[in-house]
Amino acid sequence: MANINWMGWLLMVLLVGNDKTVPVSCIYVDEPLLYDTFPPNFVWASATSAHQIEGAWNVDGKGPSIWDTYTSQPGIVAEGATGQTACNSYYFYQKDVDALKSLNVSHYRFSISWPRVLPDGIGRINQPGVDYYKNLIAALKVANIQPMVTLYHWDLPQALEDMGGWLNSSVADWFEEYARLCFTQFGDDVKIWVTLNEPWITAWQGYGLGVSAPAKYGPGTYTYQAGHNLILAHAKVYRLYESSFKPFQQGKVGIALNINWYSPATDLTADADAAERALQFMGGWFANPIFGSGDYPSIMKQKIGEKSALQGFNQSRLPEFTQEQKIFVQGSADFLGINHYTSFLTEDKPSDINDISYEADQDLYAYYDPSWYGSGSPWLKITPFGLRNLLIWLRDRFNDPEMIITENGCSDTAGNLDDMLRIYYFKHYINNVLKAIKNDGVKVTGYTAWSLMDNFEWRAGYNEKFGLFNVNFTSPELPRTAKASASYYAQIIRDNGFRTDQPCNNYPIS
């Protein structure tokens, strides 16, 4: 298959022809940058997740996760790839810490594998699993890097899925037990916690479309039931920390939501409404209960309620919070984590009423502008303006919350070390974060580059590479080698922002 980055290579060849003084690794058509610095003590991080890097899927007492089960079925993941070895970070974590150290990040965002510490999801503790994370945290401490820890990055213990997983309302109790163990074991050293990573993926792809573990299919029903239980489980863990750990551990707890930017396709009011609807269905679904009113966005309640009635359901397919639950959920986060990658154009478009799905409930059509640069992932088009717009939108809709960019990054398929496309991506997305802070007054306190290294990219296997570091997967030592983007990111961190006299920052301006 054609590598989409050839477009970038072609552009490079053309531009180098025009200006021989420009370092090859810097070339892409730029929008003007803001040359300024980030606030003091800004969190600079890079990230991974357990299933994508750890390997050691069945050793030292680890229980299977839903992703171990899912990827063991033939034909699910590209080329039959699995996370069984991945970057082997269970054994090679010191290589990860060394890579992080060379980036000079202040924080490392990683996730704990629930079935590694609780093989059955609840009950029996697996001490070697606990020790692994203690050792990782100790190695980070030596390198002067703070952990930012995600409790749930999609790898539910299979034992809990066998009891209904995120569709069983008991999951909030299971998640609380697991979180209590993590806060107890690691909380003295962890000051930033993320409860759930991208609950949207779990609800919509895992239990709605069935294209992600655990591959349950209920696009207009399970989607919302799983979403509801995810929100309540998040809130339960936040309240646990608030009452029992925060007073002496003094950390903060947030949630990481993946939210695209949606622009209206035209000047029509209907399209502007459609773009707002898309943002509410994707971001507001989780953010409005937690950071807004304590309840789902009114547009979701209205659309899903009306359609459910027309479709013959005796109640809305969107579950309702009780008054007590609204109070419990509202304000259950110290910061909003944002995983952001791409944007869409949006048109109003009524759906077929027989289509019972989260997608159809939105009555819109979203698509990519064909002029946007691509990446190594079909779903990821390069649209730096979208991040700034999203941050402003979130500030305005959800009471100006503290925000941390918990993921942002770009894939290619080559894994090449001279990764100009990724430099372009980071430069402009990070600069848009700076503009949002300096020009728009948005409260962003940290930025996390996804990902530290090439790794197991879920259903795409090892084909879509997001790393600042290349991993040679054919070598048993799985060496991590810095790409050009790693030096570029380290430079931004060193400068705490953008300087005109730094390589890659100042040309060419189109």
Ligand X SMILES: *[C@@H]1O[C@H](CO)[C@@H](O)[C@H](O)[C@H]1NC(C)=O
* Catalytic residue set: 198, 407
Q: How far is the CB of 475 from ligand X (least distance, A)?
A: 3
Residue 364 or 478 having the CB closest to ligand X? 478
Q: Could you say which residues in the range 408-437 bind ligand X, by CB under 6 A?
A: none
Stretch near ligand X under the rule CB under 6 A, chosen from 175-183, 236-244, 447-455, 469-477: 469-477
Residue 11 or 417 having the CB closest to ligand X? 417
Strand pairing class (146-152; 192-197) = parallel
Q: Could you say which residues in the range 26-65 bind ligand X, by CB under 6 A?
A: none
Residue 474 in contact with ligand X, rule: CB under 6 A? yes
Tokens standing for residue 72? 């063991």
Binder among 31, 369, 494, 508 for ligand X (CB under 6 A)? 494
Closest CA to 468 of 447, 489, 494, 448: 489
Integer distance in angstroms from the first to the last C-alpha of the chain? 31
Block residue for tokens 């790794």:
455
Q: How far is the CB of 345 from ligand X (least distance, A)?
A: 36
Tokens standing for residue 18? 């025009």
Stretch near ligand X under the rule CB under 6 A, chosen from 322-330, 357-365, 403-411, 471-479: 471-479
Residue 55 or 283 having the CB closest to ligand X? 55
Binder among 168, 416, 487, 502 for ligand X (CB under 6 A)? 168
Distances (CA, A) of 105 to 144, 188, 372, 408: 9, 20, 30, 15
Residue 44 or 286 having the CB closest to ligand X? 44
Q: How far is the CB of 312 from ligand X (least distance, A)?
A: 9
Q: How far is the CB of 429 from ligand X (least distance, A)?
A: 20
Residue 491 in contact with ligand X, rule: CB under 6 A? no
Residue type, 357: S
Q: Are 294 and 371 in contact (CB under 8 A)?
A: no
Residue 305 in contact with ligand X, rule: CB under 6 A? no
Give residues with Cβ within 8 angstroms of 193, minimum separation 6: 148, 149, 150, 151, 183, 241, 251, 252, 253, 254
Tokens standing for residue 472? 């040679």
Give residues with Cβ within 8 angstroms of 355, minimum separation 6: none
497 three-class SS: strand
Stretch near ligand X under the rule CB under 6 A, chosen from 83-91, 379-387, 453-461, 467-475: 467-475
Q: Could you say which residues in the range 135-164 bind ligand X, by CB under 6 A?
A: 163-164
As a whole number of Å, the CA-based R_g of the chain is 22
Residue 42 or 456 having the CB closest to ligand X? 42
Exposed e or buried b per residue across 185-207, where buried means at least 16 C-beta atoms within 10 angstroms of its C-beta: bbbebbebbbbbbbbbbbbbbbb
Q: Are 17 and 388 in contact (CB under 8 A)?
A: no
Residue 105 or 203 having the CB closest to ligand X? 105
Query: Contacts with ligand X: how many residues (CB under 6 A)?
Result: 11
Q: Could you say which residues in the range 352-371 bind ligand X, by CB under 6 A?
A: none
Tokens standing for residue 26? 């810097």
Spell out, one character per residue from 307 to 336, where the chain touches ligand X: x when CB under 6 A holds, - when not. Answer: -------xx---------------------
- Assign 3-state DSSP to the chain and report helix, strand, coil percentages, each to 5: 45, 15, 40
Stretch near ligand X under the rule CB under 6 A, chosen from 50-58, 192-200, 322-330, 470-478: 470-478
Q: Could you say which residues in the range 93-132 bind ligand X, by CB under 6 A?
A: 104
Residue 98 or 273 having the CB closest to ligand X? 98
Tokens standing for residue 233? 């489980």
Q: Could you say which residues in the range 268-297 bind ligand X, by CB under 6 A?
A: none
Task: Summarize as ranges the residues that interact with ligand X (CB under 6 A).
Answer: 104, 163-164, 168, 170, 314-315, 472, 474-475, 494
